[in-house]
Structure 1
Amino acid sequence: MYSLPEPIRHAIESGRAPSPPQVLLRLLQMVDDDSTTMASLATLVEQDPGLCTRVLTAANSSAIRRGKQFSSIESCLMALGTRLVRSIATCLSVQSLFDERTATRSVDLSAFWTHSLLIAELSRSLATSSGYPRPDEAYLAGLLHDVGELILLSALGEPYLKLLAACADEAELSARESEQLGVHHGEIGTWLADQWHLDSSFADGILFHHAPAEQIVTAAQLPQLVWLAHQLSSCDEVPDELERLAGQMFGDCGNGALSASRDGAEQRMRVFADAIGIAPPERSRQAGAGGLPRVLGVRQPAPDSAAERQMAAIIGDKALLQPLQQDLCTLESDAELLLALREAARILFDLNQLAFLLCDTADGRLTARDIAGQAPIFRQVSILPEAQRSLAASAALSGEICSSYDQALPPATSLMDVQFARAFASSGLLCIPMLGRSRTVGVIVAGLTADQHQRLGHRRSGLINFGRIAGVTLESWRESQSARKESEEKAAAQFARRTRRAVHEAGNPLTIIKGYLRILDSKLPQDAGVHHELSVLGEEIERVASIVRRMSEVPASREDEQTVDVGELIRELLLLYRETLFDSRGIAVESAVPGKPVRVACDRDSIKQILLNLWKNASEALSRGERFELSLTDDVLHQGHRFAELRLQDNGPGMNEAAMAALHRSSQGPLGAARGGRGMGLAIVGTLAQQLGIPVTCRSKPGHGTMISLLLPADRAERRGKSEAKPN
């Protein structure tokens, strides 16, 4: 992993890559449009280095990444989900209007933006023509090759602005950066790519784009592609030496192929720029300045009074936090809510390292056992509500922000705080209480340096309001979930009572009718030709009575049912329900069902009910552009018996623990007792699965989709044995 000088690393921790306002405006319009797909959103994000940086940082955070590598923007957006992307877009847009670090300068990013997009398009074109297997990776590396300039501009402010103004081209800028800062923008971008855990050759493409020609020929293919794209963008005519060098690296490119690639890339760049509303510079200007952020002038801010500065900070924070509060109200789980708060803190306050501790309602202890994506130390602790235990406990008790840099420090530093700071690799902590309407809901624990703490000094009121919004939203969400669950349980109980009453009332006349039929049968002469018809009529009335008795029950499995071809059943149901449940909602369906019969020893109607409930839940949970996969595998051996595995998988928002628990609930419990976020259907699936002897496995995490596996018994004896083993 690439390392940076310590002062520079601390400085860029608060740096952010700004985006042109035209791009942010288009992003806001797209996230507010329900017809926008993830693919179209990815197309926009892939055109702007600033947005790419934000999305890659968010998707590769520990809370979402979970061991996966997201190298494409679309996969990052899919992992984040539509609601979190909307929240990020709102925060970015509003923050760009009230960021005091950009208010005192005027920088035109048009040339930088078009230059980055040109290098990206050209890198992908060269990758395709040279046979590089991942052209989209080359595109992304080209787009981000100069992202270090944006980070340094944001983090260092006026000193870097003056450095930009004094440089005529990128080569001079890179040399001056190394001389004055000890690091150049390519190294900054490389360090950032390493934080995203991307392939090392991707980061090398950013690092080596200023390498000398005699060195680049010894590099891997991806850095060579970005380097060549960068060279082609800075010349009007392709020199013979560059043609020869390209041939040495990639083989004979053909006469005029490089010029054609550059012209095509430039044409595509201009189409994108025109669509967004950015005027690209002339090629002569590109060749000279190389796409540097253009300094229009530096305006020294007039000295403000302390009151004016404080008032500006309060107004700015209110403007920042109001849209955040509106977005948080649309989220559908506490995991989604915490993810949105994490990204909002990163964008609005530059708090890149943070964790959440929630207060136990019983004894007030601070814990994080059920919160994923945090350092292991936070899942291991249970902090008593005593101020000396930790800064987090002190913040929870006082309702005030506490930090390692406060003037009134406790007499002895808590070792718990030392462990938290080590987990963040930071020198200190900032603890923000999450205040609900009547109690403290939890604490946001952030790792930060002394410089970061000083920069946040005048935004203390904004941090307090941020914690209050987090606390009230979490409290409201939990209250609504509790009220919804209570309401559903009451409705289910009321329905069950009414059903039992209806069954009882319907049973009486049916019993009377059966009695009259027996009397009529006994009174008719033996040679009357209607005895058989009366017998059939009696059987049908008994069947109706049986159906009525089962109205409030989940259908029981029928042991005398013949085996069913589950593959054929799946195809039939897809034919009937695919359009309604999936296609009409824009959800892609992928099915892998064998053409040969796959017979299982299960009741056909029960399997149908299981499938329809799971499909309906998936249809309701998934959004347009997401994917639902269905696969069937036969001859699966499990504990010495044969099964067919039916697997259903999606890339949606995931399921909460209560919903997953419903799949394993007791078949004797009431249907309303264990419902989760996806409704009664999962409880029915769990009950039917137990009755049929079907082992169920479920894996689901917020933001990472859901996988449900059903092992359908192919051996009737195995199913019967499991059923008989259950207590009556």
Structure 2
Amino acid sequence: MQIRKSLFRQIETQRHLPTLPAILLKLIDACGQDEENLKEISKIIEHDPSLSSKILNLVNSAHFGLPNRIDSIHRAVVLVGTDTIKNIAICTSVYEVFNQTKGNSVFNLKFFWWHSLKCAMVAKFIAQKTNYTCPDEAFLSGLLHDIGKLVFWVNFPEKYRELLETCKDRHDLLLAEKEQLGATHCEVGAWLIRRWNLQSFMADSLTYHHEPKNRILNALPLVQIVYVANLLSDVKQQNKNYDIAEEFYGFSKSQVEELLSSTEEELKNVAHLLGIEIESPNDSETILSEEKRVKQEDLAHEVREFSLLTGTLQNLLQAGDKDTILRTAQQGVKVLFDIKSIFFFLYNPEKKGLICNAIEKENSSFMNDDIVIPMQADKSLLIDSLIKGKPLDSFTQFADFKPIIIDEQIIRFVNKEGILCIPMLAHGEYVGVIVLGLDQVELSHLSKHSMLLNMFSNNVALALHVDQVRRNQLSKIQSERLAASLYMARKVVHEVNNPLSIMKNYLKILGMKLSAQDPAQEEIENLNEEIDRITMILRSLTTFSEKRVRNFVSVDINVLLSDIIRIMSEYLSKYSNIKVHMDLEDGLPKTITERDSLKQVFVNLVKNAVEVMPTGGNLYIKTQHVPSYFQDESASEHKKHFGYVQIMITDEGPGIPDKIKPRLFEPFVTSKGHGHFGLGLSIVYEIIKSLNGTLSYESEEGKGSSFKIGLPIVTEQKD
């Protein structure tokens, strides 16, 4: 109700509402008086020469069959009655009010007025045959029964054109009007009749003329008359509606045929006398031109759709990764089919199910990677669609039984009446399912574009399949490169271990030559530790993908970082313009972790930061405690931890190029050029991940980079 009021206010404020001439309003008021003043009515009509001429022409026509010619308005009013005069006046005035409106191939005004007049004359005939008290009221009701369509066309031409184009039957049009505009043309027409102060039952006949038959059977006579007259005036449905006339009034088929043929010729005469241009759908020229128009419109529509499809397909071909493909596909659905609620569920062979890939941030709260629909859930509409390889909608599938809960949740989340699932397959392999949230009227519209939708989904599936093949190939190449690097690493390790052993021996001899209290003993010990660490690193290079024994100890992160900077002081001195700024939080909790692995992480990050500032700069190292107690069920080595130790290492280098950001932590990715293998950050990432920590970064070209490590504070080690 509130939506309808809002619509009516909008129509009023747009100033496109048809207003009856002042003279007609006076005439309606005068005709509605209890005691009819025929002289007053005649005087009102005589003030409008055009209206007077039309009334006299019609009164003297064969339609009324009067024995003598009538020359005065007063005599015409006396002979045919005020109701007939009022109807003639309203009919001509309404036509003139809307005559400025431009129709087109979608909304043919000549067809509209033909149908309206036909309905009016059939309604009057039924009223006379059934002894209805006021046949002229039936005539006027029939004439105005579709006036709401004109109001929509005048006030919302583009939107109503789209509705008329997409809705090919009455039921769809009524749903679309209600959904898109807020009221049906029946409701708008009735509202206008009441606004013009015409009889209330006339407004009811407009309100209910598209209601189901079983409701009309219990309605008042005028509502029934207009309902049947409208059906009999529908050329496309005439043969089907003979039974309606028999059921309501006992008319035989021959009686109905005689009625329709007799009104056809009279219809043209009345329209001519009233100055109303009409065009019958039965005219051969009209039928031919209409068929030609439909073909031209269908062809133009197909050309437009395929042009849009071609543009979308070109964008799909140019998409560089999965996310870009999905964004392009989402935009394509919006442009091609005017659907706004779109989700992609991609098949994951490892999890043997469909995983939602949320594109827009607002959808991530529910539709995210956590949602997995297993292939075993074959009662799910999504799984059923993928297995059968054909589109399925919830309106049809769930007509006889309830959906499973996950389907109900998805329908509720998309905030639509239902969903349409479109399977994506490529070369016989599962790719995923496109899920569209839509209302019944949108599904009806979409069903007319099934071929285009099928072509579109096939191309999206192919693009995603090609991207997956490409990523698999890249992974294979990386594995092969890693295997080759591993082979070379083993050879290098074998060669390097010999001089390292010699160095340790020399250090041992040097230590024996010095006294136990000599300050150099500490330096010798540090060198021994570093040689041991080098040996461990070299050994880890040869077992990059193998599990190793892990040595967890309690580590003071602040002390470890301070030792690293002290040991690297000579290395840093080569870059004399680099200043190290340490901001280490006092009382930072210790954590049980792998000391040597963590040391390798910090050395790599510090070394990277220094190397990107060859002309000098500032290096910032900061630690802080982020308190938060929770149980960690996933950690295999730990029982519980209390928050995080956060370590930030920030440089003032050139920043990370955008093109390598998505693959920054992959092996063999580097921006440093010749002499760098791109393994450092991938090793750092793998180590932090193995310690159940987090590694993130912020970088802007020209403004440096900051790497942030989060390490869980582990207080107890699992046995």
Q: TM-score, normalised by structure 2?
A: 0.39
Higher relative contact order (CA 8 A, sep 6+): 1
Q: TM-score, normalised by structure 1?
A: 0.38
User: Could you say which structure has the larger radius of gyration?
Assistant: 2
